[in-house]
Structure 1
Amino acid sequence: MEMFEYNERLGIPLPAFSKHWEEYPNEVQQQILSDWECIRGQIPDRIKHLEAIINKKQEQLNDEEDFELSCRLNEEISEIASIINDLWLWYRIDPHITEA
């Protein structure tokens, strides 16, 4: 039973449940939470990697004189910043086991 699906944009697996959380037995919920904690633990490293990419692009932008290329670099930086924001949102999710 696959509970997570790799998200290409974010670079991590995300929950992909086929039914409502409450419908899963307690043991399955516990396994899902355990798996999520492993995935969640990778998020800060992923963010750090993306921040390094942004820094490189900003260095390029500082030296760039071509307007079109500057616009493209700004767009790429914005997209990566959006990914970082989404990753932080996922990192802050604190699921819990349903009371039976």
Structure 2
Amino acid sequence: MSSHFSYNRRLKIDLPCLSKEWSMYPSHLKEAILLEWERIRGAIPDRIGEIDEEIEELQSRLGEEEDFEESCRLNSEISEKASQINDLWIWYRTSPYM
């Protein structure tokens, strides 16, 4: 099954990686892929929660930071984490029929 998913290091989850059109897969394989995708999808809200906690920690550090360059770096890191959350929500809402 892992050949139909690849690990995304940025989002820290497996994402669908299909080598051909969905309609070209036999029914039993579609069912197995969908089952695995639903398992992965089910973990996305937990992953979002983890990132949200990371953002809160970064915001706390940003609120106390006096160095401008470090503030900019923290702000950039917060923006990247927020972008990850946005991407995860997009994947979470992705149709199970890919």
Is the structural similarity TM-score above 0.5?
yes
Q: Which runs of 5+ in 2 are unaligned?
A: none
What is the rounded CA distance, in whole Å, between the counterparts of 1:39 and 1:79 in structure 2?
22
* Aligned amino acid, residue 60 of structure 2: E
- Which residue number corresponds to residue 82 of structure 2? 81
Using the alignment, how far apart are the partners of 1:54 and 1:69 within structure 2?
A: 15
Gaps of 5+ in 1: none
Deviation at 1:24, TM superposition (A): 0.1
Q: Tell me the amino acid that sits aligned with residue 9 of structure 2.
A: E
Question: For 1:51, what is the secondary structure of its paired residue?
Answer: helix
C-alpha separation in 2, matches of 1:53 and 1:95: 29
Q: Counterpart of 1:53?
A: 54
Q: 2:69 matched to which residue of 1?
A: 68
The alpha carbon displacement at 1:96 in A equals: 3.0
* Contact persistence 2:37–2:96 (CA under 8 A): no
The CA distance in 2 between the partners of 1:38 and 1:15, in whole Å, is: 12
Instruction: Give a deviation string over 1:50-80, Cα, whole Å, max 9, x none.
Output: 0000000000000000000000000000000
Return the alpha-carbon distance in structure 2 between the equivalents of residues 93 and 17 of structure 1: 14
- CA RMSD in angstroms, aligned pairs only: 1.2
Identity fraction in percent = 56
Distance 1:38 1:24 in 2: 20
| Structure 2 counterparts to residues 1-100 of structure 1, below 5 A | 2-96=3-97
Structure-1 separation of matches of 2:7 and 2:97: 22
Q: Secondary structure at the match of 2:6?
A: strand
Q: TM-score, normalised by structure 2?
A: 0.95
